[in-house]
Chain A
Amino acid sequence: MTARERIAGNVANYVDERTGAAKWMKKNLTKVFPDHWSFLLGEIALYSFIILLLSGTFLTFWFDPSQREVVYDGNYQPLAGLKMSAAYASTLHISFEVRGGLLMRQIHHWAALIFMAAIVVHLMRVYFTGAFRKPREFNWIIGVGLLTLGIVEGFLGYSLPDDLLSGTGIRIAEAIIQALPVVGSYIAFFAFGGAFPGEAFIPRIYTVHVLLLPGAFLALITVHLMLVWYQKHTQYPGPGRTEKNVVGYPLLPVYMAKAGGFFFIVFGVTAFLGAVASINPIWLYGPYTPGQISAGSQPDWYMGWLDGLVRMSPPIETHAFGHTISWNILIPGLIVPGILFTGMALYPFIESWITGDKREHHLLDRPRNAPNRTALGVMSLTFMLVALINGGNDIIATTFHLTINQIMWFSRISIFVLPPLAFVITKRLCLSLQRADRELVLHGRETGRLVMMPHGEFVEVHEPISAEKAWLLTQHEQQPALALEEHDASGVRRPKALKNKLRARMSKAHAVAVPKATAEDLKEIEHH
């Protein structure tokens, strides 16, 4: 036994005698994690969060979250002598006088953008592969919660510097609050400590941004990861992989080295972006004042779709009985996002209701094998994309020499037409891909070699695919649609018949598939 082994043994013994951890550690240090690039997306989100905590802490040492009016006397000459809030002045101080301050600000902002992007792409991976199915519905809901909190946290974060651009964003948020029926103006006055902008909002959202929401994030992320750990990771289908096993690398040492290494890579890339790519140059915008604005006011990308919806909304307000309801704000700003996010959170339950499938699933779906789900996902993404494009309509108009009106009308029509179109096209694509899979299994792969038959006919030689590949293309199960009778055995109409009818129709749509190739089919072909 070397000295090093002896020390390791002593430490393990010391810890175990006080915590009884050996049993747990033994089991978990050899835990197996499946390997796939798409499993790294959630990791990127996690690591960006850690980067955000570290860089954010650095920024708090100099940032002064106060709307007290000061006169700027720092290094940045174009703003010398201007009145501004202490929040804005201290952000300028971080950018120009604190060494590494600008770098940290840019790392923090880039990390926030990467955090949100990673969450969204991770969510797409989970959705399109069906990883949200039983037993992982809780984790899906926590994920939707993290996405929602991320949007709020990001918005509050870029509002803190109190520059002209972000102040305009706060003004819009205030207008949304103010538009709430009955309680709107009260909540707005409570939130802002009086009339907009007041002097209370920045200090308040600072507490929310650095304490309340990060705390909520930590708690939710902890539960999210503990559930992943406890439920074991899903895996892609393939030879030797079943619903009952996990194939991958043990935590120690391979997975730990890879995951730990990946953290440093994400941090390194973020630092590189912070070094070379300017982001949110607040000194160009100037301090916030409600009477001024800069053209091309854009929120960060994860808010862009919301702004796009507000922009394309028709000008509808109701004035009745001495009261005003702003549908042009409520519908795009609250109602539509509310429906989208609630629908997203409930999707696992909706799908399991449609399919009647209450079993556990640990093998992921190939998106083509769940055409309805895949089409619904692409449909939602198309909706978001049209909204996002409209959120940048002014920039697009000036870049491509179009008029705002053209883009606005394009979006207003597209938001209704394109998503259903995307659904139909995606579903057909999925079915075509299934057909191609079937062809491949039954007739093998095209070799590109042409052979002349004795009677003069040319044929292309097909080579049978490997057993592994054939398995991958046929391992999925094809569930028949739910058989829901409108009438029971004695001919009596069942209660909730309408609900059943809807369920039966959706179940039928969900079960549409090209029959997968079977061993029987293969035998039949061999006989020919």
Chain B
Amino acid sequence: MSNEIEAIKDPGLPAHVHRRTDTDPKAAKQAERQVAILFLLSALGTVLLIGSYIFIPQDLFIFLPILGNTNAHQFFLGLGMAASLFFIGMGAIHWAKTLMPDEEVVIQRHEFRSPEEDREEFVKAAKDGAAAAGLGRRSLIKRTLGLALGLAGLSPIILLRDLGPLPGDELSKTSWKAGTRLVTDPGDRPIRPEDLEVGAVAQTLPAIPAGAHRPLSDIGKDAVLLIRLRPEEFNLDAERLSWTHEGIIAFSKICSHMGCAVALYEQQTKHLLCPCHQSTFDVTRAAKVIFGPAARPLPQLAITVDSEGYLVAKQPFTEPVGPSFWERSS
């Protein structure tokens, strides 16, 4: 390029400027003392750490400005550790900057490309090696080797098969059956309609025999939210309206987007909001999505009361609850 010829010249490395510690022995002595002080501060830090570990009780709280109520044990232990490490570093760097030689050194780079003859020899060796193995000529060996290696690669996948069961219809069903009582979570108490005032919300689960264990994976599908409105506030078709009972409507609490618990209910607007991604569902319109990334309403659970007047499921969920998956048909 023409630029190269007329470019401004490189003046070369600037001359080295001596530091005060290089020329003044007094300054050097002073720097040495500073480094020593920094190392001593580190030693003090370790003493503080050991002292805090042994002598400060774990449940002692002290009030500190900005930090507020602070656990003294954890605080001084940490400060001691921080100081013991930090000042070693400061000392070493101060030492390097003031007392170690600071003259910049120049070394040369060399190109990574090997000399031409090495490259040729390398290519030749590779070619000779391949020719000696006869891979090119013996295509039967090449192909069967490829097959063998490919199949051998499958074995880790096969061996991981027992990581878990096949999904089957697990994702599509819940514990809710016709007649299953809704019980409070926590507390496992059955609920009567009159327990819920208008505007109230209850978190419920299907009743299980007393003392039975309820695995978290059941809660992850069975959690149901009860909301009581005035019946005239609903804006539902006849079928969905028949799924409610005296203004009480039940939805799966598991978000149809990514499965978080849809736990925020705005009483004024009658919206349910998922705190994870802010999908918003309109309770009066069968949990229709009115905002956010969720693509489907929360499944509604049909409810009624049993002979003793407790709320029960009228039928199982009519669609899978929770996030979407490939096999889901609607």
Contact = CB atoms under 8 A, between A and B. Distances in A.
Interface of A: 30-32, 75, 96-97, 99-100, 102-103, 106, 135, 168, 171-172, 174-176, 178-186, 188-198, 200, 231-232, 239-240, 242-250, 253-254, 257-258, 260-269, 271-272, 274-276, 288-297, 307, 310-317, 319, 322-326, 328-329, 332, 360, 362, 393-394, 404-405, 408, 441, 467-468, 470-471, 474-475, 477-478, 480, 516-520, 522
Contact of B107 (A175, A245, A313): A245
Given A175-B323, A178-B325, A518-B7, A264 B88 contact: yes
Most chain A C-beta atoms within 10 Å of own C-beta, residue among B11, B164, B278: B164
B260 A297 contact: yes
B82 interface: yes
Most chain A C-beta atoms within 10 Å of own C-beta, residue among B87, B185, B276: B276
Given A191-B163, A275-B79, A325-B326, 18 more contacts: A103-B81, A174-B323, A178-B325, A183-B326, A185-B326, A196-B259, A197-B220, A249-B105, A254-B102, A271-B82, A290-B259, A290-B261, A291-B220, A297-B275, A315-B292, A315-B293, A360-B112, A474-B8
A443 to B, nearest CB: 14
Contacts of A478: 3
By Cβ-Cβ distance, the 4 closest A-B pairs, closest first, are A275-B78, A268-B86, A261-B92, A240-B13
B78 A328 contact: no
Nearest to B59: A75
Nearest to A134: B112
Contacts of B75: 275-276
A231 B110 CA distance: 9
Given A257-B100, A293-B276, A240 B106 contact: yes
Contact of B278 (A189, A196, A264, A311): A311
Interface of B: 1, 3, 6-14, 53, 58-59, 67, 71, 73-75, 77-79, 81-93, 95-97, 100-102, 104-109, 111-112, 160-161, 163-167, 170-171, 185, 203, 205, 216-217, 219-221, 223, 253-254, 257-261, 263-264, 275-279, 289, 291-296, 322-330
B222 to A, nearest CB: 8
Nearest to B56: A99
Nearest to A248: B104
B163 A441 contact: no
Contacts of B165: 189, 193-194
Contacts of A262: 89, 93
Given A244-B109, A315-B293, A184 B78 contact: no
Given A311-B278, A311-B292, A99 B95 contact: no
A106 B95 CA distance: 31
B261 A292 contact: yes
B264 to A, nearest CB: 6
B82 A99 contact: no
B7 A474 contact: yes
A298 to B, nearest CB: 10
B8 A197 contact: no
B276 A297 contact: yes
A285 to B, nearest CB: 13
B79 to A, nearest CB: 5
A393 to B, nearest CB: 7
Contacts of B166: 186, 189
B289 A315 contact: yes
A240 B109 contact: no
A328 B279 CA distance: 12
